[in-house]
A and B are shown apart, each in its own frame.
Chain A
Amino acid sequence: AQSVSQHNHHVILSEAASLELGCNYSYGGTVNLFWYVQYPGQHLQLLLKYFSGDPLVKGIKGFEAEFIKSKFSFNLRKPSVQWSDTAEYFCAVTWMDSSYKLIFGSGTRLLVRP
């Protein structure tokens, strides 16, 4: 079955530290990849997405993600986090052979200490 794994459930960082959140999906085929963020008390917002082309994708607020097809991965990175990045981050994937259903990972709670 199709699945999305986020191995880091909770991450605590100090401001200015670098961030990398892992995301792996279950098998190959053509995929669209997304990272969503949910700030405390707010609704989900799209950070970035990958459909095709350059596997290094840049999103809002200084975030980027790299699609590595051979590893079925789409890790999220930010070189220097801020206190305002405290949120929950969700990786999500659609498979082209699956009616474009969006499958979410379990989420990673990031706490950035000032």
Chain B
Amino acid sequence: SAVISQKPSRDICQRGTSLTIQCQVDSQVTMMFWYRQQPGQSLTLIATANQGSEATYESGFVIDKFPISRPNLTFSTLTVSNMSPEDSSIYLCSVDNGELFFGEGSRLTVL
């Protein structure tokens, strides 16, 4: 299993600002993933973050908007840049440790 901690758990942000979400795992994992769950919708994969390489972004997501860091095998950050109300969402970190485990998510509200 894997225990995933995300910070912040929730935040209210102003339009045009940026926020960095942290994801800490209690064990070393190769693959980490960032998902977005918009209100009333399912989960959409933003990017895959492997340690030591650039993140791989899915269609519709770009590095300038969602820069990701993966400095080691237990930690990753996702930044939501230049936020707009459309970025209001839950952002989830997940890891593949035999199966996919999810953090509790970071609920962002952009005013």
User: A-side interface residues toward B, CB under 8 Å?
Assistant: 34, 42-44, 46, 49, 90, 92, 99-107
Q: Interface size (B, Cβ < 8 Å)? A: 20
Please indicate the chain A residues that have their CB under 8 angstroms from the CB of B48 in the complex. Answer: 99, 101
Contact A46 B99 (CB under 8 A): yes
Contact A102 B45 (CB under 8 A): yes
**Residue on B nearest A105 in the bound complex, by CB:** B42
Query: Is B33 at the interface (CB under 8 A from chain A)?
Result: yes
Please indicate the chain B residues that have their CB under 8 angstroms from the CB of A43 in the complex. Answer: 92, 102-105
Please indicate the chain B residues that have their CB under 8 angstroms from the CB of A104 in the complex. Answer: 42-44
Please indicate the chain B residues that have their CB under 8 angstroms from the CB of A90 in the complex. Answer: 42-43
User: B-side interface residues toward A, CB under 8 Å?
Assistant: 31, 33, 41-45, 48, 56, 58, 92, 94, 96, 99-105
Do A102 and B100 contact each other (CB < 8 Å), given the known contacts A90-B43, A107-B42? Answer: yes
> What's the Cα separation between A101 and B56 when bound, in Å?
11
Contact A102 B42 (CB under 8 A): no
**Residue on A nearest B100 in the bound complex, by CB:** A102
Please indicate the chain B residues that have their CB under 8 angstroms from the CB of A49 in the complex. Answer: 99
Contact B100 A106 (CB under 8 A): no
> What's the Cα separation between A51 and B48 when bound, in Å?
22
Do A101 and B45 contact each other (CB < 8 Å), given the known contacts A43-B103, A43-B104? Answer: yes
* Closest chain A CB from B86 CB (angstroms): 19
8 pairs of A and B residues whose beta carbons are closest in the complex: A43-B104, A44-B102, A104-B43, A106-B42, A104-B42, A107-B42, A43-B102, A102-B100
* Closest chain A CB from B6 CB (angstroms): 9
Please indicate the chain B residues that have their CB under 8 angstroms from the CB of A106 in the complex. Answer: 41-42
Contact B100 A34 (CB under 8 A): yes
